């Protein structure tokens, strides 16, 4: 196989794509970028600025967030995830973060990127593409367990409602909506354990990267 080994992993929130992408990076010896973290950082910066995530001007101003913000544990909260989904509808935000993601994907040797539009927008030429999905109930149960472990007070019903709303917003936005690339391989993790999902993802990607 010629060219960089770019592995694009897309899918909705809590589908398991982050865990899978990290495992793929380790298995294939490639650097990994969670592109959603960039959008979460912008959303968090909007909040820190006292801005409105639904205003393009406030969201675009927050794209100049300091790198140190990427280590803020608040980026993993449900509230910040909701902000990230809201700021991601603005074309100016997506343009501001595009080059950063593109440069990461094109580094020598390749890379693993996970997000919403890696296989469709950021690296459409990626030789390996996965679209990781799972049912809303399955994803909500996983996210609820994570929140419980972190001591966060949130109900399963609240998480289900938030995921459904986020899916609708992400898949219907005009700019780079959440969608599987035509040549992406679908991996439904609803009924899979973490280990089984990772094993299947490695198998599918190895097939795509094979000469």
Choose the weakest-confidence range: 33-37, 115-119, 144-148: 144-148
CB 132 within 8 A of CB 18: no
| Angle value at C-alpha 17, between 27 and 171, nearest 5 degrees | 150
Q: What is the pLDDT of residues 63-121, one digit of tens each?
A: 999 989 999 999 988 899 899 989 998 999 999 999 889 989 999 999 999 998 999 99
Q: What percent of the chain has pLDDT over 70?
A: 99
Q: Cβ(133)–Cβ(187) under 8 Å?
A: yes
Domains contained in the chain, CATH given:
5-209 (3.40.50.300)
Pair 12, 139: CB distance under 8 Å: yes
Tens digit of pLDDT for each residue in 108-141? 999 999 998 999 999 999 999 999 999 999 999 9
**Which residues in 77-111 are b (16+ Cβ under 10 Å) and which e?**
bbebbbbbbbbbbbeebbebbeeebeebbeeeebb
Q: What is the pTM of this model?
A: 0.84
pLDDT interval class at 51 (50, 70, 90): very high
Rounded CA-CA distance 69/65 in Å is 7
Q: What is the Cα Rg of the chain in Å? A: 17
Phi, psi of 111, deg, nearest 5: -170, 165
How far is residue 102's CA from residue 200's CA, in Å, rounded to a whole number? 27
Apex 17 CA angle, 85 and 33, nearest 5: 75
Contacts of residue 84, defined as CB under 8 A and 6 or more positions apart, other chains included, come to 36, 39, 40, 42, 43
* 43/149: higher pLDDT: 43
């Amino acid at each position: 196989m010629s060219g960089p080994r770019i592995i694009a992993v897309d899918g909705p929130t809590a589908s398991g794509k982050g865990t899978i992408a990290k495992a793929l990076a380790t298995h294939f010896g490639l650097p990994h970028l969670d592109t959603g973290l960039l959008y979460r950082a912008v959303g968090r910066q909007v909040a820190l600025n006292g801005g409105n995530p639904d205003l393009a001007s406030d969201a675009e101003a927050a794209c100049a967030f300091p790198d140190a913000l990427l280590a803020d544990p608040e980026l993993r909260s449900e509230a910040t995830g909701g902000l990230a989904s809201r700021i991601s509808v603005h074309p100016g935000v997506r343009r501001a973060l595009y080059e950063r993601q593109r440069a990461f994907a094109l580094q020598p040797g390749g890379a693993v990127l996970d997000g919403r539009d890696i296989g469709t927008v950021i690296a459409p030429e990626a030789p390996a593409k996965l679209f990781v999905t799972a049912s809303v109930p399955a994803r909500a149960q996983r996210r609820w367990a994570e929140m419980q472990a972190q001591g966060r007070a949130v109900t399963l019903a609240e998480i289900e409602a938030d995921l459904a709303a986020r899916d609708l917003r992400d898949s219907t936005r005009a700019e780079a909506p959440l969608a599987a690339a035509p040549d992406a391989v679908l991996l439904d993790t609803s009924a899979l354990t973490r280990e089984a999902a990772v094993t299947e993802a490695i198998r599918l990607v190895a097939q795509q990267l094979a000469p």
